[in-house]
Amino acid sequence: MRLVFALMVAAAPALAQEVVTPQIPREEGLAAWDRIFEVTSHPRCTNCHVGDAGIPMWEALGYGEERVHGMGIVADDSRIGAESVPCRTCHVTSARANTVPHAPPHIDDAWRLPPIELEWLDKSSAEVCAQMRDPETNDGNTIAELVEHLQTSAFVAWGFDPGAGRSAPTGTVEDIARDVALWGEAGTPCVEG
Ligand code: HEC
Ligand code: HEC
């Protein structure tokens, strides 16, 4: 009898693991979203993730809040300034490190603004959350594709390591990629409001 009882106790956890499908609780998903939003609302991201006016920002560069890009730069419909002054005039494509303060940042990709639907500047956590989980408004991405973008984008890599004395969001590329995957596994929960 004692032996049977001991066997039952030993078997219980294994059984429980088989029956219960692993799932990320909603609370953990919401906590992951909070960390994601902390990054996506950082000026290193929102200076590019602006809306349809196509005016890049110069926030968190020592000029104060609400400061738009100098020299009247607009990205136009092309999002690269093709119709006015192209971004590449100053933001060259180069993998070299950014070391000179207040010089135009460069990355190993063509400097440009994201599609208008990815507007994050001045948006609430709930707004960005709803926008990000819907392929209709997140540039057509599944959660796995968003994770891949975060892991491979030269823009994101630069945002976390901008150099030249610029501030950066908390965490790393791997942290936000893991948080987006976690948020996805929890069913992309958003708080209302
Ligand atoms: C220099 C401008 C620029 C900066 C800075 C920037 N992004 Fe983006 N982002 C883009 C562009 C352009 C796209 C559209 C996809 C592409 O062309 O790579 C994009 C798209 C995205 C997407 C959606 C993926 C997709 O396929 O469209 C995510 C997520 C994203 N960015 C995250 C970030 C995060 C996080 C930061 C800050 C750490 C950031 N971005 C900073 C330009 C920028
Ligand atoms: C005439 C030169 C010039 C052109 C053209 C130009 N930029 Fe800039 N840009 C700069 C300079 C210089 C800075 C750095 C400002 C500073 O750090 O004080 C900058 C910084 C930025 C930043 C802020 C980066 C950060 O640290 O957060 C963004 C975003 C940006 N530019 C986007 C664009 C886009 C998009 C275009 C094309 C539509 C463009 N720029 C065209 C000169 C230019």
Tens of pLDDT, residue by residue over 6-61, are: 445 444 454 544 555 558 999 999 999 999 999 999 999 999 999 999 999 999 99
pLDDT the model gives residue 192: 79
Name the CA radius of gyration of the chain, rounded.
Answer: 22
Does residue 18 belong to any structural domain of this protein? no
Q: In Å, how far from its chain's centre is CA 20?
A: 32
Going from the Cα of 82 to the center of ligand 1, the distance in angstroms, rounded, reads 19
Ligand whose nearest atom lies closest to the CA of 155: 1
- In ligand 2, the atom with minimum distance to the C-alpha of 48 is 29
Q: Whose CA is nearest to atom 8 of ligand 2?
A: 104
Ligand 2, CB within 6 Å, residue ranges: 43-44, 47-48, 56, 58, 61, 69, 71, 73, 75, 80-81, 85, 87, 89-91, 102, 104-105, 111-113, 162, 166
The best mutation among 111, 156, 158 to test binding of ligand 1, ranked by most ligand atoms within 8 Å of the C-beta, falls on 156
Query: What is the span of the domain harbouring residue 125?
Result: 25-185
Does residue 104 belong to any structural domain of this protein? yes
Ligand whose nearest atom lies closest to the CA of 161: 1
Does residue 12 belong to any structural domain of this protein? no
Does residue 150 belong to any structural domain of this protein? yes
Does residue 10 belong to any structural domain of this protein? no
pLDDT the model gives residue 1: 47
Q: Is the pLDDT of residue 83 over 50?
A: yes
pLDDT the model gives residue 18: 53
Residues 6+ apart with CB under 8 A from 58: 47, 67, 68, 69, 70
Does residue 190 belong to any structural domain of this protein? no
pLDDT bucket at 162, cuts 50 / 70 / 90: very high
Ligand 1, CB within 6 Å, residue ranges: 39-40, 44-45, 48-49, 111-112, 114, 118, 139, 141, 146, 149-150, 153, 155-156, 159-160, 169
Does residue 15 belong to any structural domain of this protein? no
Does residue 142 belong to any structural domain of this protein? yes
**Rounded to the nearest 5°, which phi and psi values hold at 64?**
90, 175
Q: How many domains does the chain have?
A: 1
Instruction: Render pLDDT for 100-153 as a digit per residue (tens, 0 to 9).
Output: 999 999 999 999 999 999 999 999 999 999 999 999 999 999 999 999 999 999
Q: Is the pLDDT of residue 178 over 50?
A: yes
- In ligand 2, the atom with minimum distance to the C-alpha of 76 is 38
Are the C-beta atoms of residues 87 and 110 closer than 8 Å to each other?
A: yes
